[in-house]
Amino acid sequence: MISRARPAPDAPARVRHVAIIMDGNRRWARERNLPSIEGHRVGARVLREVAQSAGRLGIEILTVFAFSEENWKRAPSEVALLMALMADFASSERDALAAAGIRVRVIGRADRLPDATARALDELVAATAGNTGVLLNLAIDYGARTELSDAMRALATDVRNGRLALEAIDDDTLSRYLYTAGLPDPDLLIRTGGELRLSNFLLYQIAYTELWSTPNHWPSFDAHALADAVGAFANRQRRFGS
């Protein structure tokens, strides 16, 4: 388990956990008169490159918003292509991610994914389970409000069944019921595509997270952009409300 302990308010900023809202794939494709899926396809390759470069910047955990629960509302044809692309990413990038020492986890309602996609992701997780490098959390069929509802339901069940005392519930207790249980909260949240909203991503975990936005769409993001974000973070003084 990785500690959730926060540094002292005056400690130099150090980024351990970076969260990314990978936005702008479709806009990137439209600007180039390409089908939307091509933006997602290039974005998948960028994800592997960014994950490989994260360790060199001292990043231990990378949590990326790969597919939100709201994305099911898109056209069925686009959803089907996205599901196929996720399966392809899990299969085609498995060896490269494993060789880079990256460990992959999936958070969210992955039980609702098509069988082929779920199977490919399970195989990716199993193939990288023994790695000790960067932990790559793929948030798939994820929504923060659903995560909190699931956590409250599980917590209430444990209280009702006598496994948890009501007076024992605090911030750390609640965090153990989240999809990110055992992980420190993100230090830095990056959003590509120029939008300034959280889009139902990690709402509980980012209470004191530093935010960084870039107008570049996700397919145009790279290791240099990640380094820029981390560099900007290093110049900030985190006080956690104090």
CB 64 within 8 Å of CB 20: yes
Adjacent-strand bridge partners of 105: 137
Active-site residue (options: 10, 23, 115, 185): 23
Does the annotation count 131 as an active-site position?
no
135-142 β-sheet, strand order: 103-107, 135-142, 61-68, 17-21, 188-191, 210-213
130: Cβ contacts below 8 Å, ≥ 6 apart:
103
**Cα–Cα distance between 57 and 79 in angstroms, integer?**
34
CB 103 within 8 Å of CB 132: yes
At 147, give phi and psi (nearest 5°). Answer: -60, -45
**Cα–Cα distance between 11 and 7 in angstroms, integer?**
6
Does the annotation count 23 as an active-site position?
yes
Active-site residue (options: 10, 33, 71, 187): 71
238: Cβ contacts below 8 Å, ≥ 6 apart:
7, 9, 11, 13, 187, 208, 210
Alpha-carbon distance values, 11 to 14, 86, 238, 239 (Å): 9, 39, 8, 9
CB count in 10 Å sphere of residue 155: 18
CA-based nearest residue to 57, from 187, 208, 203? 187
Catalytic residues: 23, 71
